[in-house]
Amino acid sequence: MNGIHDMGGMHGFGPIVRERDEPVFHHEWERRMFALAIAMMGNRTFNVDQYRQAIERMPPDQYLATSYYEHWLFAFERLLIEKGVVARTEIDVVMAALRAGARPPQAPVVKAENAGDAVESSKEAAGLSEALGGGARSLRYDESYRARFKEGDRVIGRNRNPVGHTRIPRYVRGRRGVIYRDWGVFIFPDTHASGEGANPQHCYAVEFTARELWGGEYPADDRVYVDLWEAYLEVDGDAYSRDGKSSKSGSRKAIAQGRAAKPVRVRGVKKSAPPREDA
């Protein structure tokens, strides 16, 4: 969505304020908020793309006026209620009880020896990794998803303005760039957030010159690299005709019709396990 969170290139936010010897967490509630969100993504109550989208749905004035972990709290509570995990009335009741000084019963806290190691154990970490958007490395190198683009290809960020979650920043839409690197196959956040499926596809580092993004007075040597999924990109046909070359990437018909070429399953290649669908 074209939300306030999409800040690249905005002016007016003032100096970058830095705190000396800043602690990781400034308040106890931030510690708990962090851990709760990670844990609930770990158990697949929601996925990280849904979480980011919930933050993006915060009213802009609130987003700018609140702290980082307050964004997390807004998104967390909203998702829990929307998914029917807790009801607003339940939250209200418990908050009233806490305000009145009542200490609600809690499960006994048993601090396990080397509890931190448990989190770092490979199986848990792998599950947590995947839940937080890391995805499976096997998906990343899955050759059954053919790449539409290759390094050096000239592309344009599509001018798409979805109301849902997307990870193409506004500042590259309609902008001409070059494929710098093909990072491999990843779950597509737009559809993963909306519940429309994993829709895995190639994701590329796309190189834009500062001049292309912001204007001719910018240093010629400066570049911005943005990681963009294949569906965010179209062929820069003009660049090719200017160069007198033809584009060899993607299906010509799809390009002519302005559609992203569908990922092509390579015949004869055994498809690996289907990507995990979101919970």
Partner 1 sequence: MSSHRHDDNDHDHNAPDTGPTLRVKALETLLVEKGLVEPAALDALVDTYENRVGPRNGARVVARAWVDASFKARLLADAVAAIEEVGLAAGPQGEHLTVLENTPAVHNMVVCTLCSCYPWPVLGLPPVWYKSAAYRSRAVIDPRGVLREFGFDLPAGVELRVWDSSAELRYMVLPMRPAGTENLSEDELAALVTRDSMIGTAVVTCSKDAAARPAK
Question: Which of positions 13-52 make contact with partner 1 (CB under 8 A)?
Answer: 13-19, 22-25, 27-29, 31-36, 38-40, 43, 45, 52
**Interacting residue with partner 1 among 62, 82, 88, 94 (CB under 8 A):** 94
According to the 3-state scheme, what is the secondary structure of the chain? Answer: CCCCCCCCCCCCCCCCCCCCCCCCCCCHHHHHHHHHHHHHHHCCCCCHHHHHHHHHCCCHHHHHHCCHHHHHHHHHHHHHHHCCCCCHHHHHHHHHHHHCCCCCCCCCCCCCCCHHHHHHCHHHHHHHHHHCCCCCHHHHCCCCCCCCCCCCCEEEECCCCCCCCCCCCHHHECCEEEEEEEEEEECCHHHHHHCCCCCCEEEEEEEEEHHHHHCCCCCCCCEEEEEEEHHHEEECHHHHHHHCCCCCCCCHHHHHCCCCCCCCCCCCCCCCCCCCCCC
Interacting positions 159-188 with partner 1 (CB under 8 A): 167-169, 171, 183, 186
29 vs 277 by CB, closer to partner 1: 29
Site for partner 1 in 232-261 (CB under 8 A): none
The single-letter code of the amino acid at 47 is N
Give 146 or 211: the residue with its C-beta nearer to partner 1: 211
Is 133 a binding residue for partner 1 by CB under 8 A? The answer is: yes
Give the range of 93-101, 145-153, 251-259, 260-268 binding partner 1 by CB under 8 A: 93-101
Minimum distance of partner 1 from residue 271's CB (angstroms): 21
Question: Of 93 and 266, which CB lies nearer to partner 1 in the complex structure?
Answer: 93
* Contact by Cβ (8 Å): 205, 230: no
Q: Toward partner 1, which CB reaches closer, 220 or 253?
A: 220
For residue 65, state whether it binds partner 1 (rule: CB under 8 A): no
Nearer to partner 1, 86 or 269 (CB): 86
Question: Smaller CB distance to partner 1: residue 25 or 161?
Answer: 25
Stretch that binds partner 1, among 143-151, 220-228, 242-250, 265-273 (CB under 8 A): 220-228
Establish if 134 lies at the interface with partner 1 (CB under 8 A): yes
Under rule CB under 8 A, which residues in 70-89 are in contact with partner 1? 70, 73, 76-77, 80, 85-86
